């Protein structure tokens, strides 16, 4: 059972990136999936999540209207499309399942769980 995040890189303010989260060893659509990020010196925060059962999505206020979480069941992959990037979006981004919460204003995973390597997003001119 593994999730592999990729697609990070350097983007200019106002630019876009799309992160991918490839699942292996299980069927991603059966689970809620979330994207989290941790900026230098800050705690990890949930930015977006999607329910597996009905595809409901929730976003942190800081990214609402700019980020979109989606899923391609045929590729067993989740995505995070990030538009209108800001310098404060710079962080290490992780995808995860086994969420504690995926609802309005609350996207959480047990911090003691395994998080994987993440993918680094740097927004800079």
Rounded-to-integer distance, Cα 94 and Cα 29, Å: 18
Measured in degrees and rounded to the nearest 5, phi and psi for residue 15 equal -85, -175
Sign of the CA dihedral with 43 first, then 82, 5, and 61 last: positive
Span 52-71, mean pLDDT? 96
Percent of the chain with pLDDT over 70: 100
* Cα-based angle 73, 75, 79 (whole degrees, multiple of 5): 80
Percent of the chain with pLDDT over 90: 94
Query: How confident is the model over 79-118, as pLDDT tens digits?
Result: 999 999 999 999 999 999 999 999 999 999 999 998 888 9
Can you count the helices (H) and strands (E) in the chain? 0, 12
Asked whether the predicted pLDDT for residue 36 surpasses 90, the reply is yes
Mean pLDDT of the chain: 96
Q: Are 67 and 81 in contact (CB under 8 A)?
A: yes
């Amino acid at each position: 059972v593994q999730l592999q995040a990729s697609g990070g890189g350097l983007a200019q303010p106002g630019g876009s990136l799309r992160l991918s989260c490839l699942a292996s060893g299980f069927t991603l659509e059966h689970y809620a999936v979330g994207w989290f990020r941790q900026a230098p010196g800050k705690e990890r925060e949930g930015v977006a999540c999607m329910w597996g059962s009905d595809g409901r999505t929730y976003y942190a206020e800081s990214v609402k209207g700019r980020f979109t979480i989606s899923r391609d069941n045929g590729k067993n992959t989740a995505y995070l499309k990030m538009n209108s990037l800001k310098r404060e979006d710079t962080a290490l981004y992780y995808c995860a399942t086994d969420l504690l919460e995926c609802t309005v204003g609350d996207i959480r995973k047990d911090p003691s769980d395994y998080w994987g390597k993440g993918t680094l997003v740097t927004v800079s001119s």
